[in-house]
Chains A and B, each alone.
Chain A
Amino acid sequence: MGKKTLYDKLWDSHVVHVGADGTTLIYIDRHLVHEVTSPQAFEGLRLAGREPWRAASMLAVADHNVPTTDRAQGIADPVSRLQVETLSSNCDEFRIVEFGMTDLRQGIVHVIGPEQGATLPGMTVVCGDSHTSTHGAFAALAFGIGTSEVEHVMATQCLLMKKARSMQIIVEGYLGRGVTAKDLVLAIIGKIGTAGGTGCAIEFSGSAILGLSMEGRMTICNMAIEAGARAGMIAVDATTITYLENRPFAPQGELWNRAVTYWRTLCSDEGAKFDSVIRFDATTIKPQVTWGTSPEMVVAVDDRVPDPSKEVDPVKRKSMNLALEYMGLEANTPITKIQIDKVFIGSCTNARIEDLRAAAEVVRGKFVAPNIKMAMAVPGSGLVKRQAEYEGLDKVFIEAGFEWREPGCSMCLAMNADRLEPSERCASTSNRNFEGRQGLGGRTHLVSPEMAAAAAISGHFVDVRNF
């Protein structure tokens, strides 16, 4: 038998049928559902008189529209409220487990899946959300789908797919102090570009990746989509298994032992061939800050805003000029001279307990700079929030002048009330710095939780390594 990559193993174990042209019916083990991309799929099921194939494979939660302020007040925006209520009524009708807005387990869908053990190694995991790639950190084949595909999975438990190309990104060495998984993945995207992984399933490996916690690995796989990849994944090791033990949806007892035995095989075979291989040296990576309107527009914190006049490719030059105009930045400005207005610590990229701990350590005993209009910390789930409060992190943030909020997607995409005003500049731990992403005319700089925290205290970007 040939040597297989992790992706080959995950793909092969889910093949139901292969068509003449290679179009393959792939079985889906876990279907995560949120309120924004599901209502039209449920409606399609109803219109066709279909039932979910396996409702037990589904787990639903409202996260995009939910307020991060007092939940007892409900949702003020009637359009948002209807969408959240529609999810609940659909879940009731089709007998799907849903964590409601006041459930302690509610949170960002990509935080709660792993937290509950609903994401397990060897699974195929889908969700109508591009950041589903997050779950690949558990050696799962996880990817985002559109609403038609959401309906397709509901109705058939399968998806029609063509196998992607395989890419291996090997990161060796150790990340320096103050340099995080977020900086690593931003540096990777800066190097390969936002279309660098298009059509690929990326496996991240090497000593720097194995040295990361599950939280850090999820941050890496979460942003694989920002490199254009169909999926990101990391092999199973002791870190993976330790994280999953005793999670509510994880197997218990004898089944746990059987599962672990199988999971340990979920890594690429020695000598397995990838379509492309890219290597990075972790020791050279510095804290990163995006300067433009695409995650690939990123530099190290000790660098300057790039100069479009030095770019030879006219299409790239044009997008750099458009980005600088939108961001209100001058070429060659040192990154540490950029003043900010707001700080957002949260999102499916960086709202896990480890992220909150790291940011809290930076702000402990300090106070946000006077030019900061608002700094907010938004935990990724109710359970993350409870853990943070148990450790006293809420008090650290509040005493430093941060707002401590209820869990949800919040200002990552500003579908709820949390947003930037036009021309406001934000240090954000989220994943997209697109135009208008955090509010019409808002200007987003993507950074790690530590860098966002340090920027909050300083009022401008600073190198957290010297903070």
Chain B
Amino acid sequence: MDKFIRMDGLVVPLDRSNVDTDAIIPKQFLKSIKRTGFGPNLFDEWRYLDHGEPGMDNSIRPLNSDFVLNQPRYRGANILLARENFGCGSSREHAPWALSGYGFRTIIAPSFADIFCNNCFRNGLLPITLDASSIDDLFVAVMATPGYRLKIELEQQVVVTPSGMTYHFEVDAFRKNCLLNGLDDIGLTLKYVSEIKEYEERRKLKEPWLFV
């Protein structure tokens, strides 16, 4: 996994709550057996005017100019500002794969669905939770200011606005360390091989039917 230490990026506002993983990456793109290539189909049903299918040349598809990602002022955005319960629904990791494939590295919202939040951390994507009134302030600022950028400092756990104002955010210490150092969970867990084996021996005595 790539390290995430700090970033400075253009912000795009997605002003709707309960954005689900079906909206983030529609089901027809889940048929892929690869981890990459989902970025062009991020928010496919909102982003394009036609019906997208795997294998289409997305560069020639008609764009929905009303959709915020298609507005020229937000081109190249890599911070997504969102509303409550972002990423609800299916457990598909294709959702963070699509978001990071598009170029996003941070999502800021008042709340995230649990599985989506977990999946983000495992893909170098930082989900930042801020309180609803801070989110409201950021929506006002980003909509009023073309080229609005934010700085993210993971070590200090702050979001810094162009005027130098900071919003502190909480992040799980273990997840933070994994992001800062680009650590792979499986490698970390395999340090405990002997403990896992000892655990299994205890369980075999107590619940032998699980190991038949």
What residues of chain A have their CB less than 8 Å away from a CB belonging to chain B? 16-17, 19, 21, 23, 25, 27, 29, 36-37, 39-40, 43, 48, 50, 53, 56, 64-65, 77, 79-80, 82-83, 86, 120, 122-123, 128-130, 132, 143-149, 151-152, 155-158, 160, 162, 194-195, 198-199, 228, 230, 251, 255-256, 258-259, 262, 294, 315-316, 318-319, 322, 413-415, 432, 434-437, 440
Contact = CB atoms under 8 A, between A and B. Distances in A.
Interface string B160-194: 00000000000011100000000001101110100
25 contacts: A21-B173, A21-B174, A39-B33, A40-B35, A43-B33, A82-B31, A83-B33, A120-B210, A130-B90, A130-B115, A144-B115, A148-B119, A195-B111, A228-B88, A251-B209, A255-B208, A255-B209, A258-B209, A315-B84, A318-B15, A322-B16, A413-B22, A432-B20, A432-B22, A436-B45
Nearest to A436: B45
Interface stretch (B2-10, B62-70, B146-154, B195-203): B195-203
A436 B22 contact: yes
A259 B33 CA distance: 39
A194 B186 contact: no
Q: Determine which residue in A86, A146, A322 has the highest number of CB atoms from chain B within 10 A of its CB, and name it.
A: A146
Contacts of B210: 29, 120, 123
Given A80-B31, A228-B85, A436-B26, A156 B196 contact: yes
B135 to A, nearest CB: 10
Contact of B113 (A56, A198, A255, A319): A198
Contacts of A440: 26, 45, 51
B91 A128 contact: yes
B16 A318 contact: yes
Interface of B: 15-18, 20, 22-23, 26-28, 30-35, 45, 51, 54-55, 83-85, 88-93, 96, 111, 113-115, 118-119, 122-123, 172-174, 185-186, 188-190, 192, 195-196, 199-200, 203, 206-212
Contacts of A16: 192, 195-196, 199
Given A27-B196, A146-B115, A435-B45, A413 B27 contact: yes
Contacts of B30: 36, 64, 415
A436 B23 contact: yes
A146 B91 contact: yes
B93 A435 contact: no
A-B residue pairs, 10 tightest by C-beta: A251-B209, A146-B93, A39-B33, A146-B119, A148-B122, A144-B91, A147-B93, A23-B174, A195-B85, A130-B91
A82 B119 CA distance: 25
